[in-house]
Amino acid sequence: MSASIIGTASLFAELGYQDTPKLPGVPYVVHDGKRPQPRVLETAGAVVIKAPADAVVLFDGSNLDAWTSGGDKPAWEIKDGAMVAKDKDLTSKQSFGAIQLHFEWKLPAGRPVNGQGGGNSGVFLMGLYEVQVLQSHNNPTYPDGQAGSLYGQLPPLVNATSPQGEWNSYDVAFEPPVYKDGKVETPAKITIIHNGVVVQHGESYLGPTAHKSLASYPASHPETAPLSLQFHGDPVEYRNFWVRPLGKRDQEK
Ligand code: MG
């Protein structure tokens, strides 16, 4: 069926769901296909930043020593200086709380994509909070599932995705939630810069990432946890992956 013989509204509805829970504060449901599509913004592509001296380098192109797959050796492969998603998720050996994160990602040219299929991965901060990685150039999907979204919660401000086959960069600043007396006092917060463009600006997570359901915070929460990279069936590539744990100012320690 071509887009010309079905209405635009029904086309967008088919991109997502209408039978999912309503999100708080907006007239949309989780993965709402009718939620407005982020404006497409052309950029100069990935902003490559070399790891600063105090960074924890999790992948520099040479080996997967910083990672496991479920406690076993990492399932992903290294190809041309990039790590390529394969078979299982990848989990960092080291745990992190508040961090600055940089990495670059791409989907190889020529692989067919269709919405959430074909070019899907993601970085789960603390293993819980997904920063969505999706080949979203000329590939419409529900807006809270596209590149730069907080999956199932919040679309990016704009769609800054590079053409398929070209590198994207993400620069992220993340803070875990703060609990007090067994309740969430401050939610997890995130800023995401995609190809040099702010796409999430000090936004709050509703809770750990969920699919087709409303995210909510658990009764208790670790202070630090490993981060994980999603294997969603697609050979998404990552390179130049580094983290800077964020703490207090030295003079305030
Ligand atoms: Mg994903």
- Chain segment 181-234, per-residue pLDDT in tens: 989 999 999 999 999 999 999 999 999 999 999 999 999 999 999 999 999 999
Residue 91 belongs to some domain of the structure: yes
pTM assigned to the model: 0.94
Residue 67 belongs to some domain of the structure: yes
CA of 24 to the centre of ligand 1 (A): 22
User: How many domains would you assign to the chain?
Assistant: 1
Q: How far is CA 33 from CA 14, 36, 103, 147, 150, in A?
A: 6, 8, 29, 15, 15
CA of 53 to the centre of ligand 1 (A): 30
Residue 151 belongs to some domain of the structure: yes
> What pLDDT is attached to residue 252?
72
Name residues with Cβ closer than 5 Å to ligand 1, which is an ion. 120, 122, 230
Residue 220 belongs to some domain of the structure: yes
> What pLDDT is attached to residue 8?
56
> What pLDDT is attached to residue 12?
60
> What pLDDT is attached to residue 7?
52
Tell me which amino acid residue 228 is: S
Structural domain range at position 75: 35-247
> What pLDDT is attached to residue 13?
58
| Residue 166 burial by Cβ neighbours in a 10 Å radius (0-12, 13-18, 19+) | middle
CA of 5 to the centre of ligand 1 (A): 31
CA of 240 to the centre of ligand 1 (A): 19
Q: Do strands 237-245 and 56-59 pair parallel, antiparallel, or not at all (unpaired)?
A: antiparallel
Residue 18 belongs to some domain of the structure: no
Residue 20 belongs to some domain of the structure: no
Residue 10 belongs to some domain of the structure: no
The whole-angstrom separation of Cα 221 and Cα 243 is 21
Q: How far is CA 230 from CA 66, 122, 227, in A?
A: 16, 5, 10
Evaluate whether 103 touches 90 at the Cβ level (below 8 Å).
Answer: no
> What pLDDT is attached to residue 14?
80
Place of tokens 């600006």: 201
Residue 177 belongs to some domain of the structure: yes
Q: What is the CATH number of the domain that holds 207?
A: 2.60.120.560
Q: Which portions of the chain are predicted below pLDDT 70? A: 1-13, 250, 253
